[in-house]
Amino acid sequence: MSTIDTLKKKSVFSKRGLLSLISVMATAGALMASSAQAATLKMATDSGAKGSPAGDTLDRWADLIEKNSHGDIDVKVFYQNELGSQNEVFDLHVAGDVDVMLNWPMTSYDKRIGVIYTPYMTLSWDEALTAYSPGGWVNNMLGGIYADIGLKFFGPWPEGFNGVATRGKYATNIAEAEGLKVRTMTVFPAPQTMQALGYQTAAIDWGEVYTSLQTGVVDGEAGNVIYWDYEYFRDLLDYYVRSKHFFMTGVLSMNQDSFDELTEAQQKVVVDAANDVMMAQFKAAKEQDEHYVAEAEKAGMKYFELSDEQIKEFARAAREKVWPLMDQEIGSEIMDTIRANATAL
């Protein structure tokens, strides 16, 4: 072989080696970039154990995110009480220590969040779902309020109209509520609403409700749709009166800083998954609620659906006594919007 041929051959080998080296480096670079963009999200709820409707929603939300990100996002799920009380977990969410959450809003950061607990805004399922759906008047208000405390609002997770579950005695009007002491949520205006309906109240964190009922601190629980009272307290409570003072809904949200740290593709995966579980709950909520009414009755709890006039008696009292307080706490601008859109009595 000539010297020229030898040099040519070495040149070919050198080019091949260089191309091989470039290929290896490119692959390594791609892997490093992929690793750098991978994300781990901490997802939690303040209410709902694994296997509950809320817990099942977390599981589906997490599965959709992991599947549709093709493993690029890892989700760690935490159920009720695993990271603390309702207030504590919401604190973690605002601080960014919980990235993604199904929450029942706390008003410690912004009292305007209490708009979701305005008593008797709507009185029917159709009205409520229209108001809370994307583009609805309640939905639009909540999105702006959540943004102001550093949270990205994906949408509501509706449960239905709540009521009052009690032991030994029940009330279908204001006069009958006298002498009954009930647990309320620890947010404004939950205690004020029940006081307007004639009850004595004690604001108690969700994790302490069972003990409070068991020891007689309160005679009942006035913060939830029937599922929660059936599932957790059916051995303690005898009656459930559907007072409809709040349309109960959780909220699907994400810490805004956590969201901003994701790539655009990852953000889309999280948003699409949130929309999926939200719309599924809009379709399932009424049927779920009716199912648990039947289950509660089977378990021996007596259920009362109030007449329109009975509901309106409660609604008039709550609007007269609580809505002016809300003008002071959350502002007349928001309350004017509520007055303009609320169900006519």
| b/e per residue 187-201 (b: at least 16 CB within 10 A) | bbbbbbbbbbbbbeb
**Would you say residue 34 lies in a domain?**
no
CATH of the domain at 310: 3.40.190.170
**Would you say residue 13 lies in a domain?**
no
User: Is residue 113 scored above 50 in pLDDT?
Assistant: yes
Among the listed residues 193, 223, 224, the one whose alpha carbon sits nearest the alpha carbon of residue 318: 193
**Would you say residue 217 lies in a domain?**
yes
Q: Mean pLDDT across the stretch 73-89?
A: 94
Among the listed residues 177, 183, 197, 62, the one whose alpha carbon sits nearest the alpha carbon of residue 120: 197
pLDDT digits (tens, 9 = 90+) for 125-177: 999 999 998 899 999 999 999 999 999 999 999 999 999 999 999 999 999 99
pLDDT digits (tens, 9 = 90+) for 219-276: 999 989 999 999 999 999 999 999 999 999 999 999 999 999 999 999 999 999 999 9
CA atoms within 13 A on the CB side of 25: 6
The residue written with tokens 């032991």 in the block is: 167
Whether 187 and 223 have beta carbons less than 8 Å apart is answered as no
pLDDT digits (tens, 9 = 90+) for 172-188: 999 999 999 999 999 89
| Alpha-helical segments (H) within the chain | 3-37, 53-68, 86-95, 125-132, 137-148, 190-196, 209-214, 226-233, 256-260, 264-298, 308-321, 323-330, 332-341
**Would you say residue 117 lies in a domain?**
yes
The residue written with tokens 């021996």 in the block is: 300
Sign for the pseudo-dihedral over CA of 115, 138, 123, 336: positive
**Would you say residue 214 lies in a domain?**
yes
Tally of domains in the chain: 1
The whole domain housing 272 covers: 39-341
